[in-house]
């Protein structure tokens, strides 16, 4: 400790006064040289040697304090049965056993020799047994075994006082740590490795428990059973006998070693199965996995809920947008409807005003014929003129005289008639263009180039309806049907039929109506009323009764007729009366006639299909 400086003292550092460090090599001699060689050969430091010397001193002090326990049965031991004696008890070290050091063993042997040597006892007047039959031979064998590390280890491996038992499961369940801690501690002496982990307590961590069972499941035991060899190979008379003895001993040792390892494995397995910490760790792990699984499920559920919420929001937004659009469209439609109604009312008002004005002036005619003609023209104006034109015309009629009004009306009539004439000319031109295209599409030469009459058009329309889309070889069947029923004598091919059907689809609706109208008129002429001479004849039993209903059959009547035909077969009495009663509005004659038409239609359809099928087979 530095002396505290006084007040007024000055501290001066003299650099030149401190000499530089110098390394000097020295060589040990005498007992120091001997210690140096020991350290170098053992590769230890001087401090380590000092520790060893301290340990030796402590062992010497322990030797001085060594207390021997007299073995009461020592004098009764049989020297010939030395192998089954307790060598530690013979030397008075039964309380120390495998923990006794070599110095302690030597000290104990020295004490026993001083006390039980035959010369000592003989000098004391005790009768001594001659030869190796004296019990002192047991002391000699004990020091021989315990002073040799190999033989001592062999004896320690079969220590008669060692408890090899393993606690039962019942004992371990009740007091696991109290039952298994001592067992593992006493078996730890067989470990080849130092620092054997302890069993621990209920508060031990998972790493400590895992380290403990990993150590014991991989336990490396030095315990061996050569001490229990039944035969001594040194007593063999020849080499072969020695080999045989060694083989027998080796097999017995391996068997005992295997039993020992099975015993330890049973101990560890039983402890592991009963250890409450393992159950706790497994429960914790299971709970952790369940929590993770639950967390994942919750996260997935939340994600699904979020997606569902987003989807519902999108659907709701789309619904609101759609409702808004529908509402706007509805409002627009209502507004348009109102405007249309207003315009319609205004047009109606203007038309009525035009009619009233013209009527008041007697339609500008001097006679009835001119008035009627002008009335037709006025109606034409009412149908053709727009609201603005009607308003303008009514203003002109209201502001002018009768002559001015007549001139204005006639002028408007001329404009409307000119517009109608233009429309008619355009329609005629369109028809001519259609006919020209039809002739061009029919192809040059052959039946396709010839014109189609009204009968063929009617047959084509009927066949197209009779053989709908999906019919096998439809257009060949339609062409065959027309060839069978046409009276023109022209054979139409499937290509002709397809081209004509396409042309008919391109026609104006008015032209289609005109074709259908002409076909109906032709049908009506062909099926005109029977001459009076025929009316005078007696009607047949098949068609007697009321006149046939010429109205076309509806879909509902057709279904009722088909159902009635199924309900009343041919063998039914008064069959047609019952069928007619089942079809309201139709007589017996109507039903029989319709049935005949259906039969003919089915036959024609089958014939057309069979003919096309025969051609395809060829």
DSSP sequence for 426-456: HHHHHHHHHHHHHHHHT-SSTGGGSPP-HHH
CATH topology of domain 74-157: Helix Hairpins (1.10.287)
Q: How do the domains of the chain map onto residue ranges?
A: 74-157, 170-274, 454-523
Q: What is the pTM of this model?
A: 0.42
The 3-class SS string of 471-519 reads CCCHHHHHHHHHHHHCCCCCCCCHHHHHHHHHHHHHCCHHHHHHHHHHH
Count CA within 13 A, CB hemisphere, residue 336. Answer: 6
The answer to whether the CB of 385 falls within 8 A of the CB of 412 is yes
The answer to whether the CB of 431 falls within 8 A of the CB of 511 is yes
Q: How far apart are the first and last CA of the chain?
A: 135
How far is 84 from 102, CA to CA, in rounded Å? 22
The 3-class SS string of 18-64 reads CCCCCCCCCCCCCHHHHHHHHHHHHCCCHHHHHHHHHHHHHHHHHHH
How far is 542 from 521, CA to CA, in rounded Å? 28
How far is 38 from 43, CA to CA, in rounded Å? 8
How far is 137 from 109, CA to CA, in rounded Å? 12
Helix (H) or strand (E) holding 298: helix 276-360
Q: Enumerate residues 6+ apart whose C-beta is below 8 A from 464.
A: 478, 501
Residue from 458, 449, 375, 378 nearest 416 by CA = 378
Q: What is the DSSP letter of 546?
A: S
Q: Enumerate residues 6+ apart whose C-beta is below 8 A from 480.
A: 608, 611, 612
Q: Enumerate residues 6+ apart whose C-beta is below 8 A from 157.
A: 190, 222, 223, 224, 225, 226, 227
pLDDT for residue 616 = 60
Strand partners, 414: none
Helix (H) or strand (E) holding 530: none
Q: Enumerate residues 6+ apart whose C-beta is below 8 A from 593.
A: 543, 548
| Torsion sign (Cα): 275, 280, 286, 288 | negative
425: exposed, middle or buried (Cβ count in 10 Å: 0-12, 13-18, 19+): exposed
Q: Enumerate residues 6+ apart whose C-beta is below 8 A from 120.
A: 114
Long-range contacts: 420-425, Cβ < 8 Å, 24+?
420/384
Which mean pLDDT values do the consecutive 10-residue runs of the chain (618 residues) have? Answer: 53 53 76 79 62 57 64 78 82 84 88 84 77 79 87 84 82 82 87 86 88 90 81 73 84 87 89 88 90 92 92 92 90 88 86 84 78 81 83 83 82 86 86 72 48 79 80 83 80 85 71 63 54 38 49 83 86 86 87 86 77 63
How far is 181 from 186, CA to CA, in rounded Å? 9
pLDDT for residue 532 = 40
Domain 454-523 CATH assignment equals 1.10.10:
yes
pLDDT for residue 491 = 82
pLDDT for residue 475 = 86
Helix (H) or strand (E) holding 234: none
How far is 129 from 22, CA to CA, in rounded Å? 74
The answer to whether the CB of 371 falls within 8 A of the CB of 415 is no
pLDDT for residue 415 = 87
Give the three-state DSSP class for 232: coil
Other C-beta atoms closer than 10 Å to the C-beta of 154 total: 18
How far is 99 from 118, CA to CA, in rounded Å? 29
């Amino acid at each position: 400790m530095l002396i505290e400086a006084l007040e007024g003292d000055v501290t001066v550092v003299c650099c030149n006064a401190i000499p530089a460090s110098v390394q000097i090599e020295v060589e040990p001699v005498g007992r120091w040289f001997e210690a140096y060689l020991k350290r170098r050969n053992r590769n230890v430091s001087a401090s380590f040697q000092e520790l060893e010397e301290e340990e030796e001193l402590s062992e010497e002090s322990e030797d001085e304090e060594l207390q021997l326990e007299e073995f009461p049965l020592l004098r009764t031991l049989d020297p010939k049965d030395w192998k089954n004696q307790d060598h530690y008890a013979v030397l008075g070290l039964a309380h120390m056993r495998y923990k006794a050091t070599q110095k302690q063993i030597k000290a104990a042997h020295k004490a026993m020799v001083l006390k039980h040597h035959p010369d000592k006892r003989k000098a004391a007047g005790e009768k001594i047994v001659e030869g190796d039959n004296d019990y002192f031979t047991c002391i000699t064998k004990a020091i021989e075994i315990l002073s040799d590390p190999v033989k001592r280890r062999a004896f320690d491996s079969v220590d008669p006082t060692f408890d090899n038992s393993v606690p039962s499961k019942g004992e371990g369940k009740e007091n696991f740590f109290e039952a298994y801690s001592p067992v593992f501690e006493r078996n730890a002496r067989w470990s080849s490795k130092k620092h054997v982990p302890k069993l621990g307590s209920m508060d031990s961590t998972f790493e400590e428990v895992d380290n403990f069972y990993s150590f014991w499941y991989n336990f490396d035991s030095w315990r061996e059973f050569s001490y229990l060899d039944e035969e001594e190979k040194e007593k063999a008379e020849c080499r072969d006998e020695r080999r045989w003895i060694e083989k027998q001993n080796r097999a017995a040792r391996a068997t005992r070693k295997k039993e020992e390892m099975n015993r330890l494995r049973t101990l560890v397995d039983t402890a592991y199965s009963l250890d409450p910490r393992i159950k706790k760790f497994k429960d914790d792990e299971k709970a952790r996995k369940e929590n993770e699984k639950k967390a994942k499920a919750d996260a997935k559920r939340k994600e699904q809920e979020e997606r569902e919420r987003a989807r519902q929001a999108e659907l709701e937004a789309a619904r609101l947008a759609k409702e808004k659009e529908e509402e706007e469209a509805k409002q627009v439609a209502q507004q348009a409807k109102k405007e249309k109604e207003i315009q319609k009312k205004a047009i109606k008002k203007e038309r009525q005003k035009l009619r009233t004005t013209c009527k008041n002036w007697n339609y500008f005619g001097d006679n009835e014929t001119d008035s009627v003609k002008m009335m037709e023209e006025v109606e034409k104006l009412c149908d053709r003129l727009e609201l603005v034109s009607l308003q303008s015309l009514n203003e002109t009629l209201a502001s002018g005289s009768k002559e001015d009004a007549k001139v204005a009306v006639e002028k408007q009539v001329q404009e409307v008639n000119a517009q109608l004439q233009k429309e008619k000319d355009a329609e005629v031109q369109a028809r001519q263009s259609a006919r020209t295209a039809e002739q061009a599409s029919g192809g040059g030469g052959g039946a396709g180039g010839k014109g189609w009459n009204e009968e063929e058009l009617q047959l084509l329309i009927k066949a197209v309806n009779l053989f709908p889309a999906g019919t096998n070889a439809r257009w060949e069947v339609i062409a065959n049907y027309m060839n069978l029923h046409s009276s023109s004598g022209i054979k139409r091919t499937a290509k002709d039929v397809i081209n004509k059907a396409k042309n008919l689809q391109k026609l104006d609706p008015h032209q289609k109506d005109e074709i259908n109208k002409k076909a109906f008129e032709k049908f009506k002429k062909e099926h005109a009323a029977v001459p009076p001479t025929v009316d005078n004849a007696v009607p047949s039993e098949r068609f007697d009764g009321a006149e046939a209903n010429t109205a076309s059959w509806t879909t509902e009547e057709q279904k009722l007729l088909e159902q009635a035909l199924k309900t009343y077969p041919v063998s039914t009495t008064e069959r047609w009366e019952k069928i007619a009663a089942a079809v309201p509005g139709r007589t017996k004659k109507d039903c029989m006639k319709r049935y005949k038409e259906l039969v003919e239609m089915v036959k024609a359809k089958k014939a057309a299909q069979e003919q096309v099928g025969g051609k395809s087979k060829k």
